[in-house]
Chains A and B, each alone.
Chain A
Amino acid sequence: MTEPLIAVQHLGISFPNHPVFKDLNFDIQRGDFLTVIGENGVGKTTLIRALLGLVKPTTGQIKYYPSRKATKIGYVPQFRNLDQEYPLTIEDFVGLNVRGWLPWLSKAEHQQVNTALSVTNVKKIKQRPLGMASGGEKQRAYLAQAIVEAPQLLILDESTASLDNEMKYELLDLVQNLNQTSGITVLFITHDLPLAQKYAKHYLALRPGQQQFGAMAGMSIEQLKEASDV
């Protein structure tokens, strides 16, 4: 077996008086499309925060290959409170995530932003203030920002929850395309079992006190429901 991108070993996280989960074990393979399903409060977002290094594991460990530093992670969060008056253009918003110390973006960095805008299909509207974009356009802009630094791992945290059906599939088509063409590893957290079943290669179903990890192929929605208690 090849080396995974991330190996989660005996991971347990608890907050004072509140164990979230314990003894969690799974690998994220390079190029995988892994969906994490489970009820609210089962610790999906906590798991993500642990992967991002924002929460320290109480027990066990998360191993990154070759190292955490070398593993770039792009993240599309569940909530972003950008209102209608949010002033930045989509292009400027995407450019926020370009790392560096120069106050302005270099030519190569502009190219980086442009590539992210094209693959997420927002290039035509890049001059539009993000506050005035539709829900689907906003999610695509968030996706563009998350991938602008060409991360190895892309995490989508319930990113489709606020979208209508058609836009959900549009967004996931884009993500699938990225997964297949540029080999980016995807971790997709969702409640939406049909969506998970259509796009994911593996699943991790979380229930209080237990977990189930496996290949998506051959799983029916009923079986997923059984496993995740959603």
Chain B
Amino acid sequence: MFSLAFMRHAYLAGTFIAIICGTIGVFVIARNLSFLTHTLSEIGFAGAAFGIFMGWTALSGMLIFTVISSVIVGQMSVKQSRREASISAISALFIGLGILFLSLSNQTSSYATSILFGSVIGIAQADVIRVAVLSGIVLLVMLALYRPLKFDSFDAIGARVSGLWTTAISVVFLVLVAMSVSVAAQIVGSLLIFILLTLPAAAARYFVHTVSKMIGLSILFALLGVWVGLYLSYATNLPVSFFIASIECLFYFAALGYQRLRVGS
């Protein structure tokens, strides 16, 4: 399997993606941003279409769209009660734009589906390097902001009264999520990104109870999903997204089952 260049690229890129999604995911879950992640992946699709329309790479278009829209959403939805509606509005606007740019750019529909659902075969060495660089940036920023981000994510009220600059943290975090979404879309496709960003972390919190352990376990779940998923996809010639989705769901359901056994609810 590893004698094929594209499989090596897929495994390398997949590993980077699993690591940043596993890490960011812990904070996405803690901050109740699953819905935003889902929306960002749709926005990512629109951005990819825009990138193609402009003659850039899909990744550049995705980065622009997801980063801009996540900052807008962050500004609009400081109030919890307004968050869902404002996310819906922004996503409607951007999906509309995506469809517009896709039709304007005269690409065949197969190109659109590869953006939406991901494609293993499409990964070139240059993509792997881009993914690695972006992952590195995301991880470095996370590391630099680790303590304030952790405080704000796991105890927003305590963080605010202790004088942390919580609004700035929110915006920076949303930009990180946007970058992760754009990176992950290369492998699992924009529609299934939210799987890697939410399910491994959502499962991990039932098994371990410190932030660092949750990050570790969440990365492990994401890695297993990506590695096993890629292998099964290679062996069966079926879409990799399907396998990754199934494996991550399995982890999540197992976690819920474990929680039920432990506390009975």
Contacts and interface: CB of A to CB of B under 8 A. Distances in A.
Interface of A: 52-54, 75, 77, 79-80, 84-85, 87-89, 91-93, 96-104, 127, 129, 132, 142, 145
Nearest to A92: B210
Interface of B: 143-144, 146-147, 150-151, 154-155, 157-163, 205-206, 209-212, 214, 259, 263, 265
B256 to A, nearest CB: 11
B4 to A, nearest CB: 37
A75 B214 CA distance: 27
Contacts of B144: 101
Given A52-B163, A53-B163, A103-B143, A77 B157 contact: yes
B209 A88 contact: yes
A54 B154 contact: no
A223 B206 CA distance: 51
Given A87-B209, A96-B151, 20 more contacts: A52-B161, A54-B160, A75-B162, A77-B161, A85-B259, A87-B214, A89-B210, A91-B210, A92-B210, A92-B211, A96-B150, A96-B159, A97-B151, A98-B147, A100-B147, A101-B147, A102-B147, A103-B143, A103-B146, A129-B209
A84 B265 contact: yes
12 contacts: A52-B163, A77-B157, A80-B155, A84-B263, A93-B154, A93-B155, A96-B151, A96-B158, A96-B159, A97-B151, A97-B162, A102-B147
A11 to B, nearest CB: 19
B153 to A, nearest CB: 9
Contact of B263 (A54, A100, A103, A132): A132
Contacts of B159: 96
A150 to B, nearest CB: 13
Of all A-B residue pairs in the complex, the 10 with the closest CB atoms, nearest first, are: A87-B205, A103-B146, A92-B210, A75-B161, A96-B151, A89-B209, A129-B209, A77-B157, A96-B155, A80-B157
Contacts of A132: 263
Nearest to A101: B147
B146 to A, nearest CB: 4
Contacts of B259: 85
B157 A88 contact: no
A88 B154 contact: yes
Contacts of B154: 88, 93, 96
A77 B158 CA distance: 8
Contacts of B143: 103
B208 to A, nearest CB: 8
Contacts of A129: 209
A132 B3 CA distance: 50
Contacts of A53: 163
A79 B157 contact: yes
Contact of B158 (A54, A80, A89, A102): A80
A88 B211 contact: yes
B196 to A, nearest CB: 19
A104 B212 contact: yes
Contacts of B161: 52, 54, 75, 77
A176 to B, nearest CB: 23
Contacts of B206: 87
Contacts of A77: 157-158, 161
A91 B211 CA distance: 11
Contacts of A102: 147
A5 B163 CA distance: 19
A129 B210 CA distance: 9
Contacts of B211: 88, 92
A132 B264 CA distance: 12
Contacts of A85: 205, 259
A54 B206 CA distance: 35
B186 to A, nearest CB: 27
Nearest to A130: B209
Contacts of A79: 157
